Amino acid sequence: MSNLFELWDKVAIVTGGASGLGRAMALGLAEAGASVIIADKNLPGAEETCHQIVKKMPPAIAVKVDVTRETDVRRMVKRALDWVPFHKDTGQVDILVNNAGIGGPGGPPEKMPLAHWEKMIAADLTGVFLCCREVGKDMMRRRYGKIINVSSIFGLLGSDIVDAVNYSAAKGGVIAFTRDLAVKWARYGIRVNGIAPGYFRTPLSEWTVTHLKRRLLKMIPLRKIGLPEDLKGTAVFLAAPASDYMTGQTLVVDGGFTLT
């Protein structure tokens, strides 16, 4: 049974891996045996994630990337394919976790500047597309791949808590993109799934979960705010053989928030 969750000899890219959910998922994949490329605009943070991994786990490297820039994404993929952490002739990318994104700027839709809308869509949706497109070329050639797109519960429902319709639109787009890409790339042996986290304590959400904690806990059946470590198991499951007969799905991890 344990073989279903092992990632030995696999290579993963985790975007937005410098902190928060991305760091936790990267650590989880490494603990399962994967060698990990930590890709982030925050290079010192990405290097710190690598340091935490290589102290006691498989190899890891840090790469600076802005996922909204085609040239950056192509450079990231080239660096990944040039990296050969195992005794093989060529590099490979078996797993892609699209976690990079931003949480703001938001605001009321009737007052939102177009620049705020475009910035969010670029970071939280276009970046996912660019990374999938570039990594997918090698996965299609090898006829294998696991892609995990990180969305949000706000891609599934409306909210009067967070005033960021641009964020909801981007995350809803990630869910639709995940479904459609899963159909198109299934013939190449590529599984495309997603994760929709609820309220987690991360650097991006610190103000919200701190100032609205009492209200949020009343709305979460499990009566707790998620910690980044709570996503480790979900990420490993979607990256590992355990989820081989699953594609196009988005797993909600929210303590039951969307049930109420």
If you count them, how many residues does the chain have? 260
Annotation says 144 is catalytic: no
Strand partners, 197: 253
State how far the Cα of 211 lies from the Cα of 32, in Å rounded to an integer.
Answer: 35
Q: Is the dihedral of CA 4, 178, 97, 150 positive or negative?
A: negative
* Cβ atoms within 10 Å of 190's Cβ, excluding its own: 23
Enter the tokens of residue 103: 């949480």
110 secondary structure, DSSP code: G
In this structure, are residues 26 and 110 in contact, taking their beta carbons and an 8 Å threshold? no
State how far the Cα of 141 lies from the Cα of 188, in Å rounded to an integer.
Answer: 8
Q: Which long-range contacts (CB under 8 A, 24 or more apart) does 133-136 make?
A: 134/73, 134/74, 134/76, 134/77, 135/13, 135/77, 135/80, 135/93, 135/96, 136/185, 136/190
State how far the Cα of 238 lies from the Cα of 195, in Å rounded to an integer.
Answer: 9
In this structure, are residues 154 and 167 in contact, taking their beta carbons and an 8 Å threshold? yes
- Main-chain phi, psi angles of 225, to 5 degrees: -85, 135
In this structure, are residues 62 and 38 in contact, taking their beta carbons and an 8 Å threshold? yes
46 secondary structure, DSSP code: H
Q: Which of 144, 167, 188, 199 is catalytic?
A: 167
Supply the residues annotated as catalytic.
167
